[in-house]
Amino acid sequence: DAMIALYSTFVDADLDATDCLTAELVKTAENAYRDVGIAFANQLALICEVVGGDVWTVRELVNKSPGRAVLYPGGGVGGHCIPKDPWLLAAPLGEGAADSLLGVARRINDGMPSHVAGLVGQLADAGNGSRIAVLGYSYLENSDDVRNSPSRVLVDLLRTDGYSVAVHDPYVHEFTGEVMEALRDADCLVLMVAHKAYRELDLAAVAGRMRHPRLIDARGFFSADELRSAGFEFRKLGVGAPG
């Protein structure tokens, strides 16, 4: 009762009293549930790439069925809680945790930055000193939170592969310079975070600023038509490569 009284002074929502174990299970289960949902979307995206489908269209049509809510796929999962809470929930399984649903979901989501790096490799050869521009460094759109950022993993992978990498993010102080400067002479652009600010980009001007107008869209942010109109060679996460 004392804790309910305390929390009611600053929480404007229902407060449910329970024991410590249940509270911990609820907290970790909520984040694990979301992680599994994202992993399903990412696995669906990978399947669509293999068979030549379009995950963004598939997701839209599946979600027309009552009770269906497929989440958005993307270049990875970050933040403080979701990457760790599934492992905390699965810990009682011991050695079985890695092969549990929660463990498999974690591996799928952790593997997405590497998959995006592979898409970059399909468009830009690292062997000739290609310059890659990564747009978005926070783990969440319209936020400056970089905890466990998938973009950080991607940047490290690209640099290990031999690429030169420039980063822009309108919310992360370290990367808030001019976006067009980050794009200067780039051989490939990777859209990792769906910041609203990037809606204001003039794609034709972006293409003209780059050495080679190539783009990887890891968030389904741009339509294929607008990318073609701007003159981009592109790959969208979850969409099969052109034949």
- 73-85 tens-digit pLDDT: 999 999 999 999 9
Domain boundary pick from 48, 83, 110: 110
Residue type, 65: S
- In which band, very low, low, confident or very high, does the pLDDT at 202 lie, cut at 50, 70 and 90? very high
Query: Are 8 and 83 within one domain?
Result: yes
Task: Please identify every residue annotated as catalytic.
Answer: 27, 81
Q: For position 146, which CATH number holds? A: 3.40.50.720
The total number of structural domains that make up the chain: 2
List the beta bridge partners of residue 188: 132
Residue type, 200: E
Task: Please tell me the distance from the alpha carbon of residue 89 to that of residue 97, in angstroms, as a whole number.
Answer: 9
What pLDDT sits at residue 32? 99
Is 243 domain-assigned? Answer: no
What pLDDT sits at residue 78? 98
Mean pLDDT of the chain: 97
Structure tokens at 50: 């293999």
How many helices and strands, by DSSP H and E, does the chain display? 10, 5
What percent of the chain stands above pLDDT 90?
A: 93
Is 241 domain-assigned? Answer: no
Is 242 domain-assigned? Answer: no
Ranges assigned E (strand) in the chain: 131-135, 164-168, 188-191, 214-217, 233-236
pLDDT of 243 higher than 70? no
Contact 218, 212 (CB under 8 A): no
Query: Are 223 and 119 within one domain?
Result: yes
What dihedral do alpha carbons 90, 92, 96, 102 form, nearest 10°? Answer: -10
What pLDDT sits at residue 1? 75
Domain range for 48 is 2-110
Query: Are 120 and 101 within one domain?
Result: no
- 120-143 tens-digit pLDDT: 999 998 877 899 999 999 999 999
- 64-122 tens-digit pLDDT: 999 999 999 999 999 999 999 999 999 999 999 999 999 999 999 999 999 999 999 99
148: helix, strand or coil: coil
Query: Are 102 and 159 within one domain?
Result: no
